[in-house]
């Protein structure tokens, strides 16, 4: 069995993800950051971009986040994001409909998510 690290993706509205993962790739403000088990402790600013969760050597879940902070330790990765939407099960049409009902930054984020699907 592969070694894992605990991932938690949290927004102000709810906990989006909480699971043991083999690797997670996150959009840092200075570029992509791959996090494996036993990663050195790190605090990093997050940019808008895709969070990719790996199991069995492949991507099993994707989220689009809109900035925030990552708290990385050897045992756990905590992502505190301003906004997040799951891309794995989302449809572009649903996201565009939600964007039309939203306003400002939220609408812009949902349109970006629709393009990422």
Q: What is the pTM of this model?
A: 0.91
- Domains of the chain plus CATH, in order, are 5-86 (2.60.15.10)
Q: Quote the pLDDT of residue 117.
A: 82
For residues 112 and 95, give the distance between their C-alpha atoms in angstroms, rounded to a whole number: 9
Q: Among the residues of 1-117, which ranges form H helices? A: 92-101, 104-116
* φ, ψ at 90 (rounded to 5°): -85, 155
Angle at 64 (CA atoms; ends 58, 67), nearest 5 degrees: 125
Q: Does the structure show a pLDDT above 70 at 1?
A: no
pLDDT in tens, 37-61: 999 999 999 999 999 999 999 999 9
pLDDT in tens, 46-102: 999 999 999 999 999 999 999 999 999 999 999 999 999 999 888 899 999 999 999
Q: Quote the pLDDT of residue 92.
A: 92
């Amino acid at each position: 069995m592969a070694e894992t690290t605990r991932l938690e993706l949290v927004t102000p509205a709810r906990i989006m993800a909480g699971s043991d993962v083999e690797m997670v790739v996150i959009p840092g403000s200075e570029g992509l950051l791959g996090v494996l088990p036993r990663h050195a402790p790190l605090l990093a600013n997050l940019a808008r971009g895709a969070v990719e969760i790996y199991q069995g050597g492949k991507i099993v879940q994707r989220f689009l986040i809109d900035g925030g902070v990552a708290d990385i330790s050897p045992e756990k990765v905590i992502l505190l994001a301003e906004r997040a939407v799951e891309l794995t099960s989302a449809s572009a049409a649903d996201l565009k409909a939600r964007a039309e009902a939203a306003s400002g930054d939220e609408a812009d984020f949902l349109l970006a998510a629709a393009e990422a699907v």
